[in-house]
Copies of this chain bind each other. A is one copy, B any other.
Amino acid sequence: MPKLDLFQFTPFRINRLAAEISAALSSEYRDRYGIDIPEWRVLATLGFRQEPCTAQYVVDCTRTHKSTISRAVTNLLRQRIVERVENEQDRREFALQLTAKGTALYEEMIPRMLRREQDILSCLSARDRKSLDAMLGKLERSLDLVQGKIPQASRKAGN
């Protein structure tokens, strides 16, 4: 009889690990800043990419459902963390960018988030990290999760 040990089943292990890491990280932005996961993803996308970009671009980058991103953007607008301007060339879309408040929040959060990442990875040697990075890269490419697939939203949204 064929058997499957969940503890050795890679999909399960990765899922469980992801959930645990998520929980460890989200306490940082949820408790301290009142930001939830979708909001954090929007913030991180806009903050990294200094140019304005569309909600659709965030959807493509983060692989998060568009209704989820839409709601996150609404919340961030209400909190004045993000602002948006209609694109004159294409009036279906809006160019999103961080406000001064949003930028300040981003700059305050990032070092904390990076520190948390380091805490989580602290059980791995430099060589291990390289190796993990390589494995993730291969899996991402194989599953079509690569950056190359992401449209250059800036060209449209930016000007």
Contact = CB atoms under 8 A, between A and B. Distances in A.
A142 to B, nearest CB: 4
Contacts of A145: 16-17, 20
A17 to B, nearest CB: 6
Interface string A7-51: 101111111111111101100000000000000010011011000
Interface in A102-132: 107, 110-111, 113-114, 116-117, 120-124, 128, 131-132
B20 A63 contact: yes
By size class, the interface of chain A is 35 or more
B6 A117 contact: no
A48 B114 contact: no
A129 to B, nearest CB: 8
A7 B147 contact: yes
B124 A143 contact: no
Nearest to A18: B18
A141 B114 contact: no
Given A135-B131, A138-B128, A14 B18 contact: yes
5 contacts: A4-B113, A10-B136, A14-B136, A17-B140, A124-B135
